[in-house]
Structure 1
């Protein structure tokens, strides 16, 4: 392991991160907010840490698989620790742990908050919350690759951070891939900002909500989230862009070159839309039949919440914690599924769900025809056994971690279903849960131990489990052969 080279890369990333802190610092200057000093101190601390790492590290070095894992894990840890400083220095949160929770929730695009009243926060702090979403959505490492031309071994960084069961490359060079993904991401963000302004949202709120939507994050500038606006136009625009953000960005690039039909012919995207349609229909019927709401209102609320939850954005247009049990169970199930591979969404991912269903169906066929050679196929191609193995292991680890986290959270005094929702909503990077962490409340009632568990769950979920879990293996640090 070339630790000196790793230090240098992490140092350069921290310097760049300090630069991004300059954006909310400028906002604080424009509005003459008290958070000017908070961001000044945060930038200085982050910058000094970066310079020390760069100075102590080695500029040139070999980028292997192990270095890739350590850099990605280290980058997310350091940016989380530094990102908490503005919250702490400004007094937006009472403790550093709360600031760390808010930052990790932002960077991992979870959207769970410990701040009870966001509307009293300075605009600069609100923008920092949304900016952490936007940076973490496509990936801070993926963005870093764009600004590091000719870095040998950048593929290892890309593979360790990009979400999804497969790290799909749309172009031969990794830097070109990173650049193209960020161009698409930026372009869609700008379009959404413009559309939200056209339907009545002010510029500041439009920027914040577009950052959070495209990152499938969910931080809002309002305590009641999107319900505050009660504007059908705003909801429809956010619904459309949440669906887009929950799709495969690599697929969008292919569609840009080959036509929009490429998107709708994709099996994963079709299944993704099918889940949204069926879930919306069932919840609409549940609200209409059980709660006596009108058909239009039921459909409007059901569609928004289904899209918000399956894309792991976590916005709320209604208090779904008060909905019938069947509706809550459907939303709870969607928290596990998440969006498409290669999206900014969390969760297990639709691709893995499809593969698991096909694998189960194949095994049932083998039980009837034990001598038959039956392969799992996806889009008319045989799925590589390595991919099948990885998907199965990921699913097992996801459920195992969910179970352990639920037990740990229940030990803090949370009700069983609340503990389960807290575990899956952070592991799946969704945001709101049920009960005391529902859509109209925050995570401020969770004790420090519970917060620590949830922070770990958010990081595990965003980095697709393997990137962090692999670091606890002794052989990862000991062996050099084959790396």
Structure 2
């Protein structure tokens, strides 16, 4: 393991991260907010850490698989800690742990908050919350690759951060691939800002909500989230862009080169839309039949919340915690599924769910024909058995971590369903859950131990388990040829 090279890369990333802190710092200067000092101190601390790491580290080095894992894990941990400084220094949160929770929630695009009243926060702090969403959405490492064109072995960083069972590239060179993804991401963000302003949202709220939407994060500038606006046009715009953000971004580039049919012919995209449509219809019927809500209102509320939960954005346009049990169970299932691989959404991903069903079908056929050689195809290609194995292991680990973390939360005094809801909401990077962490409440009632567990859940969920879990293996840290 080339620790010196790892230090240098992490130091450069911290310096770049300090640069992004300059954006809300300028906002604080323009509005002459009390958070000017908070951001000044945060930038200085982050820069000092970055400079120390760069100076102590080695500029040139070999980027292997192990270095890739350590850099990605280290980058998310360090940026999470640095991102907590503005919250802690400004007094937006009572403790540094609360600031860390808010920072990690932003970067992992979870959108869970411990701040009960966001409307009293300075504009600079609100923007920082949303900016952490936007940076973490497409990936801080993917963005870093864009600014380091000559970094050898960047593919290991890319593979360790990009979501999904496989890390497909739309272009041969990894930097070109990262640049194209960020260009698409930026283009959609600008388009949404423009449309939200046309719909009547002020420019500041439009920027914040667009950052949160495209990152599938869910931080809002309003306590009531999207319910505050009660505007059908705004809701429809956000619904469209949440759906866009939940799709594999590589498909957009392929569609630009080969036509829009490239998107609609994608099997994962088809199932993604099918799940949204079916879930929306079922919840609409449930609201109309059980609660007596009008058909139009039922459809409006159901569609927004299904898309918000399915894409793991977490915006709320209705208090779904008051919905019938069957509707809440459907939303709970969607929390586990999540969006498409290669998107900014969390959850287990639609492609993994499809592969799990195919794996189950294969095993049923194999029970009848034990000696048969059965090839499974996905997206017009034969699936490598190794991928099936990886998907099965991911599913097992996801459920195991979910169960263990739920036990830990329950041990803090939470009711079982509330504990389960809090864990799936953070492990799946959704944000709001049910009960004490429902759509109209925050995570402020969770104690320090519970917060720590949920912070770890958010990081595990965003980095898809393996990137962090691989670090606990003693073998990983032993010197070994071939890595």
What is the deviation of 1:272? 0.2
Partner of 1:68: 68
What is the deviation of 1:380? 3.0
Match of 1:344, SS state, is coil
What is the deviation of 1:379? 2.6
What do residues 361-403 of structure 1 show as CA deviations (whole Å, max 9, x unaligned)? 1111111222222122213321011111111110000000000
| Partner Cα separation in structure 2 for residue 374 and residue 62 of structure 1 | 40
The answer on 1:425 being equivalent to 2:425 is yes
Partner of 1:127: 127
Partner of 1:97: 97
Match of 1:84, SS state, is helix
Match of 2:9, SS state, is helix
Match of 1:375, SS state, is coil
The answer on 1:457 being equivalent to 2:457 is yes
Partner of 1:331: 331
What is the deviation of 1:356? 0.3
Matches for 1:322-401 after TM superposition, within 5 Å: 322-401=322-401
Partner of 1:39: 39
What is the deviation of 1:482? 2.3
| Partner Cα separation in structure 1 for residue 151 and residue 74 of structure 2 | 18
The answer on 1:302 being equivalent to 2:298 is no
| Partner Cα separation in structure 2 for residue 404 and residue 238 of structure 1 | 35
Q: Which residues of structure 1 form unaligned runs of 5+?
A: none
Match of 1:312, SS state, is coil
Matches for 1:258-273 after TM superposition, within 5 Å: 258-273=258-273
What is the deviation of 1:135? 0.2
Partner of 2:26: 26
Matches for 1:71-82 after TM superposition, within 5 Å: 71-82=71-82
The answer on 1:51 being equivalent to 2:43 is no
Matches for 1:186-201 after TM superposition, within 5 Å: 186-201=186-201
What do residues 318-367 of structure 1 show as CA deviations (whole Å, max 9, x unaligned)? 00000000000000000000000000001000000000001101111111
| Partner Cα separation in structure 2 for residue 369 and residue 230 of structure 1 | 57
Query: Structure 1 residues 250-259 or 93-102, which shifts more?
Result: 250-259
| Partner Cα separation in structure 2 for residue 141 and residue 170 of structure 1 | 17
| Partner Cα separation in structure 1 for residue 479 and residue 434 of structure 2 | 44
| Partner Cα separation in structure 2 for residue 354 and residue 311 of structure 1 | 17
| Partner Cα separation in structure 2 for residue 219 and residue 200 of structure 1 | 19
The answer on 1:111 being equivalent to 2:103 is no
- Runs of 4+ aligned structure 1 residues displaced above 3 Å come to none
The answer on 1:474 being equivalent to 2:474 is yes
| Partner Cα separation in structure 1 for residue 368 and residue 216 of structure 2 | 43
The answer on 1:16 being equivalent to 2:16 is yes
What is the deviation of 1:189? 0.2
Partner of 2:145: 145
Match of 2:151, SS state, is coil
What do residues 186-233 of structure 1 show as CA deviations (whole Å, max 9, x unaligned)? 000000000000000000000000000000000000000000000000
Partner of 1:239: 239
| Partner Cα separation in structure 1 for residue 166 and residue 314 of structure 2 | 25
Query: Structure 1 residues 362-371 or 294-303, which shifts more?
Result: 362-371
| Partner Cα separation in structure 2 for residue 453 and residue 164 of structure 1 | 24
What do residues 87-146 of structure 1 show as CA deviations (whole Å, max 9, x unaligned)? 011000000000000000000000000000000000000000000000000000000000
Matches for 1:167-186 after TM superposition, within 5 Å: 167-186=167-186
Partner of 1:218: 218
Under a length normalisation based on structure 2, what TM-score does the superposition of the two structures give?
A: 0.99
| Partner Cα separation in structure 2 for residue 263 and residue 380 of structure 1 | 14
Match of 1:216, SS state, is coil
Paired residues, number: 483
Partner of 2:209: 209
| Partner Cα separation in structure 1 for residue 281 and residue 368 of structure 2 | 35
| Partner Cα separation in structure 2 for residue 173 and residue 225 of structure 1 | 40
Partner of 1:6: 6
The answer on 1:408 being equivalent to 2:375 is no
| Partner Cα separation in structure 2 for residue 381 and residue 132 of structure 1 | 37
